[in-house]
Structure 1
Amino acid sequence: MLRMIEWRWGLEPLTVRDATANNLAQELDFKHVHPRAPEYAVPDVAAAPCPVRPAAATAPAPRRSSARAHWTELRELAQRHGWRVRG
C-alpha cells in the first residue's frame, strides 16, 4: 500500500523496504472498474448448538477475597521477614 501511495503522489520512499516493495497499482485494473461487489455463496452453519445446563446445576463462582485482605496479608508477610512496615 505504501509503495502505491508513494507512486500515486510522487513521493520518495520512506524506507528501503517500501522502496523495494511491489506497487499494488500494477495489479489493479483502473480502466475496467466493476461497480458491484462480487456475490459469494455463504455456507450454512452446520454446527449443533451448545447444550444449556439448568441454573441449579451450575455452582456459584467462588468469592474472591477483598483487595484490603490481600494487602493485609502482604504486610504481615513483610513484617514476619523483618521489614519495617507502616500501618
Structure 2
Amino acid sequence: MDDGTGNDDHPHADIRNGDAFLAAVFHAVAGGPAWDKTVLIINFDEWGGFFEHVAPPRVTAPNHVDSDEVTGRVLLGFRVPTVVVSPFTRNTAGTPEVNHTVFDHTSVLKLIEWRWGVPPLTARDASPLIGNFATALNFSAPNASVPTVPLPRPVLAAPCFENIVGLLTPSKPPAGTSAPKNRTPWAVLSAWSGMNEWRRQLKFPAVR
C-alpha cells in the first residue's frame, strides 16, 4: 500500500507521479548514445483490479503446478497496458499504433531469445500461442528522431497516513470536523476476510 507519495501507480499514489517517472525514464533513454538501437518496453505486473470485458485466452502452461491447467493450457490474466518505445516503432505502415497479437510477460523473453539466439526458458515462451515483441518492430524503416514527450514535474504531496504500517497512528481530524468512527479502515476488510476464511474452513474441513 502506497502512502500517497510514491510513483509506482499503486493506491494511494498520485498517477501524475507515475507519469513523471515514466517520462523521466523515456527522456534518459532517448537522450542516450544508443537510442537508435534501443527498444524500451513498459509494462505492468497486474491489471489494477479494473473491470475487464475481454475473457483471457488459454495458452501453454509454463509448468505443471497451475491449478487451472486443462490439457496443458492455463488461463492468462487480465490485460495490462504495454508500450513499446523505439526507433523501430514509430507508427509507420508496418508498425501500427495498436498491435492485436496476444502477448504476455514472457513475450519480453521471446524477444531476447530471438535477438540473441538463446533457447527458451519455459514451455510458455517457447509456445507459438504467445507473441514475440519483435513482430511489433519495423526494421526496414527505423526513425531515430526523438518524439516530443512532455516532461512533467512530480507532485509533492503529504503522506496519506502518519504511520502506514498497521495504520496505528492516524492523523487527527481538522478542527470543527467529526472524527471517523473507524480509524483503521483496513480493519473491516481484514475482519471480513478472516471471517470468510473461518467459513471456508467449516465448509471444507482439512483432510486427515
TM-score tier (shorter): 0.3 to 0.5
User: When the two structures are superposed, what TM-score results if normalisation uses the length of structure 2?
Assistant: 0.19
- Indicate the structure whose relative CO is greater, using CA pairs within 8 Å and at least 6 residues apart: 2
User: When the two structures are superposed, what TM-score results if normalisation uses the length of structure 1?
Assistant: 0.41
- Who wins on radius of gyration, i.e. which is larger? 1
